[in-house]
Structure 1
């Protein structure tokens, strides 16, 4: 029973964060960059897919409205669920836009993110190498994390020591290789390399 309650709470928290992302998106603000961090977006590659998914949801809502017009109570319930589904779909895109990857040179930290369900914090001194590497096939491997967007990653980080990644349902994994996508992969690689080298020189 406790496990069921925990899963329910995680789902509710996830959807609340999606709704909060809609507010940030409307206000043209981003999450996690207030302390001077540099943001690197990754949502551009999924725009068409999200639009297509949203369009299918709208068509399905209109179709169900026609089919259920003779059952007003059922129609209202289904319409409410359909509208909420569309809001969540838009919220997923908003979360990706408002929660970019963040490089915090002063804090010596790189945050690799994906909407509201991935936020891996990597100390810069643990980055052994960072390079641009386009991949469209990702096999699940122990010690590796693939944060794909549109089924692709474009940046690969190898670490000297593992960092923790907490999955959606709270399971903790240690990862030494992180692959992610960035709209401007070259800029992310250059910025991380410069920040890491500067940190090592100061040390």
Structure 2
């Protein structure tokens, strides 16, 4: 399906990049995306921070190296410089989006996020069970189709089981019904305790 001249997947990718770039402004202002007074925010970005900053450093080194290699070709140098700097911005944007878009517990919903590409709202009355369990992605076994995993640093620390499915919309628009969500929170104990009390 298209709207105007752009296919839907292209529009969705463009919207995703816009959210990533917008996250920089929130990061600089030390604000969080759509966290209202009375809501409780729970971060999840810590396990990936070292990897993101390390990758950013590698990208910067590569940018400097390429600048020296193509300095005799101004047009090529300009194009590669723009592409390399934009790559650095997007890599840092991953962390900015993760920091500024935390999980949010409201009076009647649990909003689970993964940077700028996942935003899943679960009504509290659909939560049957909450448990803390550390799972590593790729540790073996297949993931059932009704299970959504939102790992950070290849790990999840909380599992929520639902009484009825919720719809997860993937980045390119594909939809699927999920009844179990595994995700990470830096303060998993506090979130489990608060969520248990809210559900009760």
TM-score scaled by structure 1? 0.93
Match of 1:121?
Answer: 121
Paired residue total: 195
Cα-to-partner distance string for 1:38-74 (whole Å, 9 max, x where unaligned) = 0000001110010111011001101100110110110
Name which of 12, 15, 31 aligns with 1:13. Answer: 15
Runs of 4+ in 1 over 4 A off after TM superposition: none
1:87 pairs with 2:89: yes
SS in structure 1 of the partner of residue 105 of structure 2? strand
Match of 2:172?
Answer: 169
Cα-to-partner distance string for 1:166-195 (whole Å, 9 max, x where unaligned) = 000111110000000000100010000001
| Residues 42-191 of structure 1 mapped to structure 2, 5 A cutoff | 42-105=44-107, 108-138=108-138, 139-191=142-194
**How far apart, CA to CA, are the structure 1 residues paired with 2:126 and 2:176?**
17
The CA deviation at 1:35 is: 4.4
Match of 1:193?
Answer: 196
Cα-to-partner distance string for 1:102-152 (whole Å, 9 max, x where unaligned) = 0002xx100011011111111111111101100003533210000000000
SS in structure 2 of the partner of residue 110 of structure 1? strand
Whether the 8 Å CA contact 2:146–2:179 is kept in 1: the answer is yes
Aligned-pair Cα RMSD in Å: 1.4
SS in structure 2 of the partner of residue 182 of structure 1? coil
The CA deviation at 1:32 is: 1.7
The structure with the largest helix share of the pair is 1
TM-score scaled by structure 2? 0.94
**How far apart, CA to CA, are the structure 1 residues paired with 2:13 and 2:166?**
25
The CA deviation at 1:2 is: 3.7
Structure 2: runs of 5+ lacking an equivalent: none
The CA deviation at 1:92 is: 1.1
The CA deviation at 1:26 is: 0.4
Structure 1: runs of 5+ lacking an equivalent: 198-203
**How far apart, CA to CA, are the structure 1 residues paired with 2:100 and 2:146?**
28
Whether the 8 Å CA contact 2:110–2:121 is kept in 1: the answer is yes
**How far apart, CA to CA, are the structure 1 residues paired with 2:162 and 2:2?**
36
